[in-house]
Amino acid sequence: MQRDPRAFLWDVRESALAIQTFTAGMDAGAYAANEMAQSAVERKFEIIGEALNQLAKLDAALAARIPDFPQIVAFRNQLIHGYATVNVGTVWNVTQNALPPLVGSVQALLDELGDA
């Protein structure tokens, strides 16, 4: 039995919201000084990338509707496999600039599909 595509979108949304919670009230310096927050954020980015990768296997057209989908999966691969060193500043920038639009896009798709 195939997993419902909404489940992957839900995983993305919930992980992104968790990242926002983990970094609330922080600036770049506070984030750079907090190893626990960095680890938590990176783990949630790994979940986001894997969920989108699995979504693409299940429903490529739906995954393609997520802006920057290939870059998100590539970011996950960099974090996990170390293809390129991802510095703290890069993760912070992604958290601050790319995450809010991702949450909006995923929520719009969940709304359209009937978020259960």
Task: Quote the pLDDT of residue 54.
Answer: 96
> Taking the model in full, what pTM does it have?
0.92
* Per-residue confidence (pLDDT) for residue 83, from 0 to 100: 61
Tell me the torsion sign for CA atoms 28, 33, 36, 38.
positive
Structural domains counted in the chain: 1
Could you tell me the residue range of the domain that residue 16 belongs to?
Answer: 5-113
Kindly tell me if the per-residue pLDDT of 103 is higher than 90: yes
What's residue 82's pLDDT?
Answer: 73
Average pLDDT, the chain: 93
pLDDT digits (tens, 9 = 90+) for 40-91: 999 999 999 999 999 999 999 999 999 999 999 999 988 888 765 778 999 9
Say how many Å lie between the first and final Cα of the chain, rounded: 18
Q: Which residues are within 8 A (CB) of 110 and not within 5 positions of it... i.e. 6 or more apart? A: 6, 9, 10, 13
Handedness of CA 87, 75, 77, 36 (dihedral sign): positive
